[in-house]
């Protein structure tokens, strides 16, 4: 690492202006609420499986603490220095992704090779891809956006990079995350001013491929069928959706009360991770759901308006990508829980149990807070 680079990452060079306090407050509320809902949703399963009701809670707190350290660091790095090392960040991300295919390091859980085990902790490298790819796209698209008429030079590299990572995630048998990463990437391409004719040709090319990939595994086909008509197979693939919808409608307006969800005692599968929102809806009712939706909406509003306000393209695209990365994921997860889109394995940020997701989400928010420093007083140019 060069000296200039090292100096760039030094804490003394940190921008001292305050971060967006709205954003910060939203984050704290979401994380706190998420933790209590997670405990309620997971204690039964934890007790049954591990004999320790707070098993998932304890692990989540450890990850949350780690993520906080990451987030604080992310608010204090120099973004210019960070920008310089973005191409270098791709390498460790790629290595971690490839490690999941290495026997003994990569572990297979329920047929998917998504996790790697390092120092006794499992980590899902595809979560890291989200962060790395958002950084990379913000960087490359802001550099190349003047040359979009030269496809070979400006369009091909980011498209290839995205396709490569999405293919890797797909190869881990993680269709949902692959699809989600692709969605984020496409929205970033879109806002960067990518000519629409490229979108058209890319869509035409990728639709048949995506269809084949979607239909190539039995469980995916069953999930799609269950989405179209869950009552057809109430004990099998449609079960998750019916159970989570039942939980939500049991919740009604006020909810059954904190900790008193009945459905989590077995009938909602993965109540502690991908379907935690169903427990929230059952215990806190529509009121609680609206509060959480409202928090995510405030988060999105602050993030997106920051993206529009920031004048430097890199920062603007980055703010957009980070906000979208959290917000779209939340919306997608909640849409799955109510059965508006087919069941996928996407966690709800800050709520679902899962170490890699919480750490990466917090680092993403940290970067966003960093971008928000004095944004209202921002008057063009990059502070040197």
Give the binding site for other proteins (CB under 8 A): 4, 8, 45, 47-51, 80, 83-84, 110, 142-143, 145-146, 187, 190-193, 235, 245, 248-253, 265-266, 269-270, 281, 285-286, 289-290, 293, 297, 300, 304, 307-308, 311-314, 316-317, 320, 327-328, 331, 334-335, 338, 340, 380-382, 384
Q: How far is the CB of 284 from other proteins (least distance, A)?
A: 10
Q: How far is the CB of 210 from other proteins (least distance, A)?
A: 20
Look at phi and psi of residue 343 and say left if phi exceeds 0, alpha if psi is from -120 to 50, else beta.
Answer: beta
Report yes or no: 34 and 263 within 8 Å, Cβ to Cβ. Answer: no
Q: How far is the CB of 334 from other proteins (least distance, A)?
A: 7
If the CB atoms of residues 124 and 128 are measured against other proteins, the closer one turns out to be 124
Q: How far is the CB of 126 from other proteins (least distance, A)?
A: 20
Report yes or no: 86 and 92 within 8 Å, Cβ to Cβ. Answer: no
**What spatial distance separates the first Cα and last Cα of the chain, rounded to whole Å?**
20
If the CB atoms of residues 222 and 245 are measured against other proteins, the closer one turns out to be 245
Q: How far is the CB of 275 from other proteins (least distance, A)?
A: 12
If the CB atoms of residues 19 and 188 are measured against other proteins, the closer one turns out to be 188
Residue appearing with tokens 């989590």? 264
The 3-class SS string of 240-299 reads HHHHHHHHHHHHCCCCCCCCCCCCCCCCCCCCCCCCHHHHHHHHHHHHHHHHHHHHHHHH
If the CB atoms of residues 110 and 152 are measured against other proteins, the closer one turns out to be 110
Q: 139-159 burial string, b = 16+ CB within 10 Å, else e?
A: bbbbebeeebeeeeebbeebb
Q: How far is the CB of 21 from other proteins (least distance, A)?
A: 22
Nearest to 307 by CA among 366, 372, 362: 372
CA atoms of 296 and 327, how far apart (whole Å): 7
If the CB atoms of residues 68 and 293 are measured against other proteins, the closer one turns out to be 293
If the CB atoms of residues 124 and 273 are measured against other proteins, the closer one turns out to be 273
């Amino acid at each position: 690492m060069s000296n200039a680079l090292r100096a760039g990452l030094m804490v003394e060079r940190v921008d001292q202006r305050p971060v967006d306090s709205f954003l910060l407050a939203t984050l704290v509320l979401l994380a706190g609420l998420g933790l209590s809902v997670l405990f309620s949703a997971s204690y039964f399963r934890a007790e049954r499986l591990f004999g320790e009701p707070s098993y998932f809670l304890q692990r989540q707190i450890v990850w949350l603490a780690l993520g906080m350290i990451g987030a604080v660091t992310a608010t204090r790095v120099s973004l210019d220095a960070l920008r310089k090392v973005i191409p270098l960040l791709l390498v460790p991300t790629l290595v971690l992704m490839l490690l999941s295919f290495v026997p003994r390091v990569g572990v297979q859980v329920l047929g998917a090779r998504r996790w790697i085990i390092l120092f006794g902790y499992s980590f899902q490298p595809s979560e890291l891809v989200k962060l790395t790819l958002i950084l990379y796209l913000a960087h490359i698209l802001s550099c190349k956006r003047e040359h979009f008429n030269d496809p070979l030079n400006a369009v091909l590299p980011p498209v290839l990079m995205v396709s490569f990572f999405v293919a890797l995630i797909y190869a881990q048998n993680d269709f949902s995350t692959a699809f989600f990463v692709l969605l984020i990437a496409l929205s970033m391409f879109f806002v960067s001013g990518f000519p629409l004719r490229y979108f058209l040709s890319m869509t035409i090319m990728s639709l048949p491929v995506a269809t084949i990939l979607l239909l190539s595994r039995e469980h995916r086909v069953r999930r799609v069928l269950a989405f179209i008509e869950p009552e057809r197979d109430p004990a099998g693939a449609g079960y998750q959706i019916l159970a989570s919808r039942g939980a939500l409608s049991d919740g009604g307006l006020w909810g059954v009360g904190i900790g008193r969800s009945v459905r989590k005692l077995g009938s909602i599968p993965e109540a502690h991770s991908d379907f935690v929102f169903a427990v929230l809806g059952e215990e806190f009712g529509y009121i609680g759901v609206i509060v959480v939706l409202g928090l995510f909406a405030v988060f999105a509003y602050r993030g997106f308006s920051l993206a529009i306000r920031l004048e430097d393209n890199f920062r603007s695209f980055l703010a957009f990508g980070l906000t979208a990365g959290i917000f779209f994921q939340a919306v997608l997860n909640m849409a799955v829980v109510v059965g508006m889109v087919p069941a996928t394995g996407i966690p709800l940020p800050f709520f679902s149990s899962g170490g890699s997701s919480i750490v990466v989400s917090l680092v993403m928010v940290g970067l966003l807070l960093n971008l928000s420093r004095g944004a209202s007083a921002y008057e063009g140019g990059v502070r040197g």
